[in-house]
Amino acid sequence: MHTQASTSVTSALDPVPPFRAENAITVRPYRLPGLESLAEQTDEQLWLQDALLGPFSGDIVGFLELARSTGGPVLDLGSGAGRLAVPFASHGFEVEAVDRHAESLRRLRARAEGRGRPVRDRVTTTCADLTRSRLRRRYQLVLLAGTLVAAVAPSERVDFFRSVAAHLGSGGALAFDYTAHDTEALVRDPVRTWAFQVPRFDGVTERAVARQAFDAAAMRERITYDVERSGGHGAHRSVTTTVKWVVDEGDLTRDLRAAGLRVVERRQRWLDGRTRSVMLVCRTK
């Protein structure tokens, strides 16, 4: 039986100690934290990203339901390889997908192409940094999915939200999700570890151990994926690490108000006894 690691850390930014699968809880990928990051990813990391965030994640249904009320065009910020953009285009919405990783956008376009010319023609891709991209038009729905808001520094959040608000059309909405943590629980138990197999269909076997370490004082967390791959040209190991912000709900609400946005809908579900997944729908005041 796998048990949760009892290791503690002083800071989520300390060097990551070695860890093994036998010290981890075995879970399905959809229960794991993602790789929210503003940095480019390597080609190897894209398999892991797809396993953690899609392409069949349940949030797609909720976002599509919202799009039917707002209409398009849709702006998909941090689109990755198109887990949202391609289904939206398949349902008739015009989508602009923004991501800083060119290979992710190439895969997105290939997926859209595979759905036929009408879907391909509804998708526009823009290679740009999430917080530095220049929005060119007005959108009826802006998506920031996959808890990517945790990758935006608190000092940049108001300006980021203000730019989005300025590009919402009449009746338009910003929709995004994030993970809400019980801060006291993070102090008591700052480390979680899981093991799982990454679903691949190319003859490669990929196993991963995920280690999530929190620094409650700094409101930061670090997620490290230690991955072993075998098949094809042998076996090798890689380590992928993302450092991101723990979202404080009070601070987030104040940032939205300062940017001229109001929360009109809130959905949440418990992931475990101390963690909730929250989705907010915001409109201009």
Mean pLDDT of the chain: 82
Burial of 21 (0-12, 13-18, 19+ CB in 10 A): middle
Which residues, at least 6 apart from 188, have a Cβ–Cβ distance to it below 8 Å? none
- Between 233 and 137, the more confident residue is 137
Q: Is the pLDDT of residue 129 over 60?
A: yes
Q: Is the pLDDT of residue 92 over 90?
A: yes
Residue 43 pLDDT: 59
Distances (CA, A) of 70 to 33, 73, 132, 169, 175: 29, 9, 25, 9, 11
Q: How far apart are CA 103 and CA 110, in angstroms?
A: 11
**pLDDT 10s digits, 199-212:** 777 778 888 888 99
Q: Is the pLDDT of residue 71 over 80?
A: yes
**pLDDT band for position 220 (50/70/90)?**
very high
**pLDDT band for position 135 (50/70/90)?**
confident
Question: At the top level of CATH, which class does the domain 53-179+248-284 belong to?
Answer: alpha beta
Q: Which of 104, 102, 100, 69 is nearest to 86 (CA)?
A: 104
**pLDDT band for position 134 (50/70/90)?**
confident
> Using alpha carbons only, what angle is made at residue 124 by residues 118 and 128, rounded to the nearest 5 degrees?
160
Q: How far apart are CA 43 and CA 137, in angstroms?
A: 31
Q: How far apart are CA 229 and CA 252, in angstroms?
A: 39
Distance of CA 97 to the CA centre of its chain: 14
**pLDDT band for position 183 (50/70/90)?**
confident
Q: How far apart are CA 206 and CA 120, in angstroms?
A: 31
Q: Is the pLDDT of residue 78 over 50?
A: yes
- Domain range annotation of the chain: 53-179+248-284
Residue 39 pLDDT: 46
Q: Is the pLDDT of residue 275 over 70?
A: yes
Burial of 236 (0-12, 13-18, 19+ CB in 10 A): exposed
- Between 259 and 11, the more confident residue is 259
